[in-house]
Amino acid sequence: MELSIGELMVAAAAREIRDGERVFVGMRLPMLAFFLARRTHAPGAVGIFENGVVRDRPSPAPLATMSDTPNIAGALWCGDMLEPMGLLQRGEVDVGFIGGAEVDRHGNVNSSYIGDPRSPQVKLPGSGGGADIASLAIRILLIMPHDRRRLTERVGYVTSPGFGNGPGWRDRAGLSGGGPSALITTMAVFRFHGGEALLESWHPGFDADDVRRETGWEVRTAEGAGPTEPPTGEELAVIRELDPGGVWTRR
């Protein structure tokens, strides 16, 4: 069966998770990435959901939201929203996933407004816990569709801060977390160096020029950039076990 872009993104995101880390998981592809990492190279990782559920294994049935009943069965811990936010504030969350409508070259994310915030064309869901995760987790993984309108030189509204306007901004803003580490899109993987997203790899069917055309800033390439490594046979088998209908990976 042909590999889907969603499956490739899950594998790329899972490789960013290290053994023993506390991961602020979220839903959809980040959730699959966490459980893939657990099943392969990071058996000691622990997943934290914003609603207070902590898990180290997939739910026994598919989830539409993190508060679905199957997410409770087999959980390590079920609290409320105060507990995961407390872990963030104490610096005990190693990595958190964030998505949004827009992201810019410095990793700032907009999930609030399209257009002038005072009279927006579109009003989006807002932060949720995104601003907390972006500010306080030790590092951040961004995952989102790749579109020139969404990967912009500067987001129209900063919901969740990345590196602001460049190196040193987070320190000046008093943010304890380390900021974005990687941006994984439907076309490529970017790695943050010096507060800027540099192109690290491009997915099958694309090349560096394709990525540049569909990115709203002048893309610089990281040293050693090349094609994204596809999932191994083991990784792909686990992904398809976790998402048998291809609901999240759009297989």
Catalytic residues: 50
CA separation for the pair 159, 101 (Å, rounded): 10
CA separation for the pair 139, 15 (Å, rounded): 14
- Within 10 angstroms of residue 121's Cβ, the number of other Cβ atoms is 9
In order of 135, 152, 155, 236, the CA distances from 165 in angstroms are: 15, 13, 11, 38
CA separation for the pair 117, 138 (Å, rounded): 29
- Signed CA dihedral, 8, 12, 18, 21: sign only: negative
CA separation for the pair 57, 60 (Å, rounded): 9
Q: Could you say which DSSP state residue 31 is in?
A: H
CB environment 34-46: b (16+ within 10 A), e (fewer): bbbbbbbebeebb
Count, in order, helices (H) and strands (E) of the chain. Answer: 7, 15
